[in-house]
Structure 1
Amino acid sequence: MNATIDEIILFAGGAFLAVWGFAKITERRKLLKNGVRVEGTVMENDYSGNGSSYYPVIRYVTLEKDWVTKKYDIGSSPPAFKEGETVRVIYSPDNNQQFIIDNWHSKLLAPVFIAIGIALIIGVVVYYILYQ
């Protein structure tokens, strides 16, 4: 592959990671400010997503007494939670299907992705300046 194409791909990947991280931080801040906090239970760890990560399926009861069972959109390998484990959930009062698990993982994930994205962008720019 051409070095310029590699640089563009790495730059785009870094931009994607940084934007995704900022979106997750914004979502978390909004839910921390306006969300409803409840206890949830890990029903299972779903491995069917992309085949490389386990996605916890969380069940919780809303204040309106609605049961919500939904796969969390952030996975890990190995699984971050054991089946039957209780977790803190913060869900949106506007859409009880939108939620985050309130733990250290959800606090650190977005900043780590932002840092990796920015590091990729800076690395590509420095490489381009030095070697082109």
Structure 2
Amino acid sequence: MKQNIGLAFFGLFALIGTIFLIVAYVSWQSSQRIIRTGIETKGVVIDNRYNIDRQGRTTSSMAPVVQFRTADGTPVTYYSQTYTSPPSFDIGQTITLWYLPDNPQEPVLEGIDGLLLPLIFGIMGTIFSLIGYWNIISALVRRRVQVS
């Protein structure tokens, strides 16, 4: 019974880790697809806005607000959700970005913007998966040794 609880516990770790790794891969693939097939352009950082936590307090991390024009000249203002401390870009800095023609509101900025989510989920997924799968395999090997 105790072994089954342990297997279930570490099975949950393995499942969560696997889900995190899938999210990391899908997010990374999405960013890479936009970079490969999207339109490359330049934008200007017009502001860096502070992150506000759930209690309404301002944190020290900031995300860029970037203004650019699409290929047909339409102005777009993009409010990045990638908060960093110190800020990734300075106000007035010209940066490279990529967007899909049918969705210019969701570009990928140069630098960490398209990599942060996959990186975080990839690291967490790897840790959870290693803990989960290692312990499941160890328990199954121990169980097999005890039987023989």
Letter matched to residue 96 of structure 1? P
Provide the identity percentage: 22
Q: Does 1:89 align with 2:97?
A: yes
For the aligned residue pairs, the C-alpha RMSD in angstroms reads 3.0
2:67/2:78 contact within 8 Å kept: yes
Question: Structure 2 unaligned runs (5+)?
Answer: 1-5, 140-148
2:42/2:94 contact within 8 Å kept: yes
- Could you tell me how far apart the structure 2 residues matched to 1:11 and 1:66 are? 46
Letter matched to residue 85 of structure 1? Q
Q: Where is the strand percentage greater, Structure 1 or Structure 2?
A: 2
Q: In the superposition, relative to structure 1, how do residues 36 and 49 fare at CA in structure 2: closer, same or farther (>3 Å)?
A: farther
- In the alignment, which residue of structure 2 is the partner of 1:69? 77
- In the alignment, which residue of structure 1 is the partner of 2:26? 23
Structure 1: which 4+ aligned runs deviate by more than 6 Å? 3-7
Query: Could you tell me the TM-score, scaled by structure 1's length?
Result: 0.75
Query: Could you tell me the TM-score, scaled by structure 2's length?
Result: 0.68
Q: In the alignment, which of 82, 95, 113 is matched to residue 121 of structure 2? A: 113
Letter matched to residue 40 of structure 2? R
- Could you tell me how far apart the structure 1 residues matched to 2:138 and 2:35 are? 43
State the aligned residue count.
Answer: 129
